[in-house]
Structures are given as C-alpha cells and as structure tokens.
Chains A and B, each alone.
Chain A
C-alpha cells in the first residue's frame, strides 16, 4: 500500500450544482501532493470531504486503506483557507483547546506546544490574546495547531497567504521537514511557483472534474514540445535565420542574454535528437545558448484550463 489517501470516483452535489464529478485521486505516502485548479473548481469541496466535514454523494475515500471514519480525525491536520482563531481567547489556552479537540491529552499538548513555540520563537505569546497579534503572527499559531498532533496527513489550503517572504520561507521549510519526517502533505494553492518548489505530484481540477494528475515531472515530460530555446551569434544572421526556418518550425523567443543576434524557439520532430539540432546549428553559427523548453506548472495550468 503506497498511497496514504485514495479518493475513488467521488461526486458531490449541492442542489443542482455539481461540485465534484467522479473525481479520483491517489496521494502517495511521503509525497507533497498539489491539488490545483481555478477558483470554484471543487478543491475545497474535496478537501472538506477528506476532512469529513461533508459527506460525498457517491464514491469513497480511503485513508491508509480504510474507509474514512471519525477516528481518522486525529490522523489529519487541516489548515483551511478560511481560517481564524477565537479573537478574545489567549494564545496558549486556545492552542491547548484545539489540540485537545484533535484527541491529544492536555499534558502532551502542552509539551509539544512549548517545543513549537520555541522553535518558531514565539514563546512569549502564550498569554497574549489573538486580537493583540498581527495577521501573520496569528497564522503562525494556526500552523502550529495544524501540525501539533503529528498527523499522518497534512492538508494546507493556501498556507502562505498572509505571511511575509521570510515567514513564508520558514513555513515552507517546516513543511518540507515534516514531509521528510514521514508526513504526507496535500497542498492546495494558486501560487504556481510554490507548486514548482514543493510538489512531487499534482492533480488539476477544473469545473468539478479532474483534468490532469500524476508526478509533476511526468506531466512536464508529457507537456514538453521538443522545443529548444537557442541564442546564436553570426555575422550573417539573415542567411542563418533563413536556413533554420527552412528546416525547422521556428518561433521568436525572448530571454535575457548578452548580445545574441538571433533568439529563437526551435521545435524539432520526435525523430530528431537535440544533438542533431545542435550540430546543425554549430555548422551555421556560434551557439551561445541552448536550453530545452520545459513547461512550467503555470503554463501547464493555464494551458489545461483553457483547453477544457
């Protein structure tokens, strides 16, 4: 059993509106799984189903091979996008309360809280009220509360919103560390650069359907178009350009480089190897820049959503 969480053809209706249509995902153990999709695609609904906040109309969800049941609550840590804390409650008291709701004993929760408070250097906040903290500070508390009970599965919905870059990095490192310690992470966000940085696997939801899923690298491989970005220098650039255009599909390229005369995106057939292209080019001009164009998560996201 390599998948910690498996959702099998899950559907959910709200009245006539179909929020999820036959969506299946498998989240491998120890991975960071990006759950992506435009607004209103059904991500939150799926996450709520995993958290047993709502029940699916059809389909089933397995955690560690077992159908979801109330006991699984303590195995899951959830940081919702719409999040907040009781404003007039003290930080320590509140964290203890939320930890106890997750099934921890008071003493255990206290020890672990102390550890985290020191780790994130917020030990002196214990007796402050939430309303005295800034938004970013409150987010830190929220993060701690989410991971405190050492759940097998962590679900973060836009975890970095509200953090400054320094704290966002701090949290990112913590997420990676948790993954290394064996936790599995589901990560939902619109920020594609953090998807690139963090995710091993992704699934893309669009209009209640799953339109794409798999390892991020595999998907990128699927989406690559055998296109190479090249920068050439030549005294006779016009002739060179014409020669290239005669043999390959060519698009203009823009990238930053020092004094290249020709900047191109060149697409080669599947039968042609990059070496063939390179030797073709070296015969014509001086090659200063030769990179395979790998689609970014952002490109894949936009392309998939537009095509559907």
Chain B
C-alpha cells in the first residue's frame, strides 16, 4: 500500500501548523530587516560625525594636500612646537594630531610622520592620510628630479578590455559579477536550506522516537516510506516558509526604506564595492545596459534546470543523512557527535565555492570539488553561471544521484534499526553493525 501522500500531508500540516514554525516564518524577515536597517542606520550615524584633524607640518610643503571633506575638517597649525600642539589638540578635543617632522633631504625621505590621538584612530582615517602623503611626497620627489607632473598625467591611458568568446558572445566585468552573484546565491541558499530543514527532519524523527509512536506507525508503513514522507513533507513546509520569507522580506524592505528613508543600498558589502567600482568606470547609463545584457548572457535555461536538479538531489542526500541521525539517537543532545561529519563537507563546499570558484571557476580545485558528491551540489551551482560543459554537469549529477540512492539505502537501514532502539547512544561501530541486520 502506498501511504506516501498521506504521510507527506501529515508531516506538512504538522509543520505548518506548529506555533513556533508560524512565529519563525513571520518574525524572521521582520527581525532580519530590522537588523539590516539598524546596521544601515548606525553606519550612517557613524559617517555623519564631523571629525577635525589638526596638522602640524614642519616641512611647509603640504598646505595644498589636505582638503576638507564632508566628514573631515583639517586645521593647519603653524608656528607651534609639537608639545604645544599636542596640548592644544587635546583641549580642543579634536580627533587627532598629524605631525610631519622637518625634512632635510627629500631624496632620502623616510617619512617621519606621526599621528597623536586620544583613542586609537580608525584604520580608514590612517590609510587615507597615508595615501595623501604618499602621493604628495612622490610628486615632490619626481619634481625634484625634474619630471613634469603634467606630462605624467597626460601619459595615463585607461584601458577597458572588451571580452568576447570565440563564439562571439560579448561579456564584460559586470557579467562576472552577475555570475558570481547568481552562483553564490544558489549555493548559499542550498547550504542554508540543508542546515535549517535537515535539522527539522532530524528533530521530527527524534520526536517520533521519544513519543514512542514509531512502532505503531512502523507496523503500518515501511520505514523507507515514512522516512521519504518525512523528508518530502518537511521540505515542502520549508519551501513554503522560504517563499513567505522572500515575499515578506521584499515587501518589508521596500516599506522600511520608504518610511525611514534609509538607503539600504548604501550598506557597503564587498560585492557592492565591486559593483560601485564597475559603475564608476563605465558610467551609470552603460552600467544599466551592461547589467541587462549580463543577465541575458547568463545561461538561464541551463541555470534553472541545473539549479532544480542539483538543489533537489543535494538536499535529499543530506536530509536522508539527517533522518538517519535522528533515528540513531534518543535525544537531541546526542546528535552532536554525528552532526560533525555531515557539516564538514557542507562547510568545505561553501568555502571552496567562495575562495576557488571566484578565483578560477574552471580550475582543478573547483572542478574536482564539483564532482565529489557531498560538495558538488554547492560548488557546481556556483560554477554553472560561468558556463560548465553539459557532460560535466551530467556526470556530476549522475555521481550525486548515485550517492543519493546509496545514502537513502544506508539511511533507511540505520533508520529501520535505529527507530526501534532505545536507551543507549550508539557508536559508529554499532551503526556499522546495524547495516547487516
């Protein structure tokens, strides 16, 4: 008898009706958005503060270096000794005092520059000061050996390499950024999905054990049916939650930024810096056009199909392992020991994805990891936007599905024996023995 639909329905309804599930579904996006808004607000607050930096320049060469900006004012101090300046700055409660000692020989200038302040200065401030001084002094050095600065400026050439594949496909830097964004999002989504809902499956198996209903159920249905029903039912609940999160999150984001006038796009992330850089180089108009072609250039059909296949098989692979952990133990505290071997390849996959795929999407490391079944779903999803040959995708998927079938078989064995074992926490050796029962 096939009870799978019945089991899926029950699992889904129990999950979805669960109070904490409902609360999490509606509260998480609110909390997330609130957090993002708070961070944005705070970083704006921080940037808004006006800093005054006093400069004591004994060389007399740097008058034109320091220009006041929105956030920073520079005060040039003249005819004061260092000690007097320090006292003065301290009394004025300035951000700090930049001291450049007298230079005797410009050619051998080693940069006797110090920054005095009450609290340690921010990294950004220091490096910005360093950049200013470096530029000025190297200009001065160049001038002192008789180089015309204007000529150097005129000799600068700006090159933007237009990229085109042999098949005539045009691409640009934005393309790469889009590819990274798509791949990264897909891989990360899978990672989060596995962790959140894998755990949920595990808990629901443990619940059946602790409530002792398992033997009643198992006298009516096959363990593997129960396990698959649980996995599918929980995943559907997960998808429901995710969809609500995305919709609710999107709406809230718009509402919050409209109400509080916080420009959330200003929150700086490394990706955004790259985008900003690209915008600066190409101009906003060109950027928008390139963005659209970039999205158009992505192998969309391939991306969507591959995403579905890798996501589903990867998720099923891991969730069947989670289910078997739930079956092997009696309570949640005992799961730690078995969680590690599952989490390790998953975390490894994300790191490999982040560090090697960005660097070289078709390099040896990323290629190998996109075939190893436990890392392949995440790594391959990150690689695909960069164009992976179909045979590679197919082979990787085949290996993944093979492993998934093996894992389900393995999990079903552990599950079948484990759900009826109470009391003691099993060791790996015992788990291995269960395979033979």
Contact = CB atoms under 8 A, between A and B. Distances in A.
Interface of A: 14-15, 48, 51-54, 70-71, 73-74, 76, 78-80, 82-89, 97-98, 100-103, 142, 145
Contact of B216 (A54, A88, A145): A145
Given A88-B18, A97-B10, A101-B6, A51 B212 contact: no
Contact of A82 (B217, B220, B422): B422
Contact of B212 (A70, A73, A84, A101): A84
Nearest to A51: B219
Contacts of A101: 3, 6-7, 217, 220-221
B282 interface: no
B420 interface: yes
Interface string B392-409: 000000000000000000
B13 to A, nearest CB: 9
Contact of A84 (B211, B222, B420): B211
A84 B422 CA distance: 14
A78 B6 contact: no
B437 to A, nearest CB: 6
Contacts of A73: 1, 219-220
Contacts of A79: 216
B422 A80 contact: no
Interface residues of B, number: 25
B1 A142 contact: no
Nearest to A77: B219
B3 A80 contact: no
A78 B211 contact: no
What are the 9 closest A-B residue pairs judged by CB atoms, nearest first? A84-B212, A101-B220, A80-B215, A84-B211, A51-B219, A78-B219, A84-B213, A82-B212, A15-B433
A253 B51 CA distance: 107
Nearest to A52: B219
B211 A85 contact: yes
A237 B7 CA distance: 76
A13 B355 CA distance: 50
Contacts of A80: 215-216, 219
A86 B6 contact: no
A53 B437 contact: no
A53 B1 CA distance: 15
A103 B10 CA distance: 15
A80 B211 CA distance: 13
Which secondary structure dominates where chain B touches chain A? Answer: loop
Nearest to A131: B211
Contacts of B10: 97
B436 interface: yes
Contacts of A86: 14, 207-208, 211, 213
B218 interface: yes
Contacts of B219: 51-53, 73, 76, 78, 80
Given A53-B219, A53-B420, A101-B6, 19 more contacts: A52-B219, A53-B215, A71-B1, A73-B219, A76-B219, A80-B215, A83-B212, A83-B213, A83-B216, A84-B211, A84-B212, A84-B213, A86-B208, A86-B211, A89-B14, A101-B7, A101-B221, A103-B1, A142-B216
Contacts of B216: 78-80, 83-85, 98, 142, 145
19 contacts: A15-B436, A53-B420, A54-B437, A70-B1, A71-B1, A73-B1, A73-B219, A74-B1, A82-B212, A82-B422, A85-B216, A86-B207, A88-B18, A101-B3, A101-B6, A101-B7, A102-B220, A142-B216, A145-B216
Q: Which of B207, B208, B220, B436 has the most CB of A within 10 A?
A: B220
Contacts of A71: 1
Contacts of B222: 70
Contacts of B213: 83-86
A238 to B, nearest CB: 60
Interface in B3-25: 3, 6-7, 10, 14, 18
A101 B422 CA distance: 24
A51 B223 CA distance: 13
Contacts of B217: 98, 101
A97 B218 contact: no
A84 B1 CA distance: 23
Nearest to B222: A70
Nearest to A71: B1
A98 B208 CA distance: 14
A52 to B, nearest CB: 8
B175 to A, nearest CB: 50
B6 A100 contact: yes
Given A80-B219, A97-B10, A101-B220, A87 B3 contact: no
Contacts of A82: 212, 215, 422
A73 B10 CA distance: 20
A142 B212 CA distance: 12
A83 to B, nearest CB: 6
Contacts of B437: 14-15, 54
A23 B381 CA distance: 55
Contacts of A87: 211
Q: Which of A70, A78, A82 has the most CB of B within 10 A?
A: A82
Given A71-B1, A78-B219, A102-B220, A97 B211 contact: no
A175 B213 CA distance: 22
Contacts of B215: 53, 78, 80, 82-83
A115 B1 CA distance: 26
A14 B420 CA distance: 13
Q: Which of B14, B213, B218, B436 has the most CB of A within 10 A?
A: B213
Nearest to B430: A15
Contacts of B433: 15
Nearest to B433: A15
A216 to B, nearest CB: 27
A100 B212 CA distance: 19
A304 B357 CA distance: 72
Contacts of A100: 3, 6
A87 B207 CA distance: 9
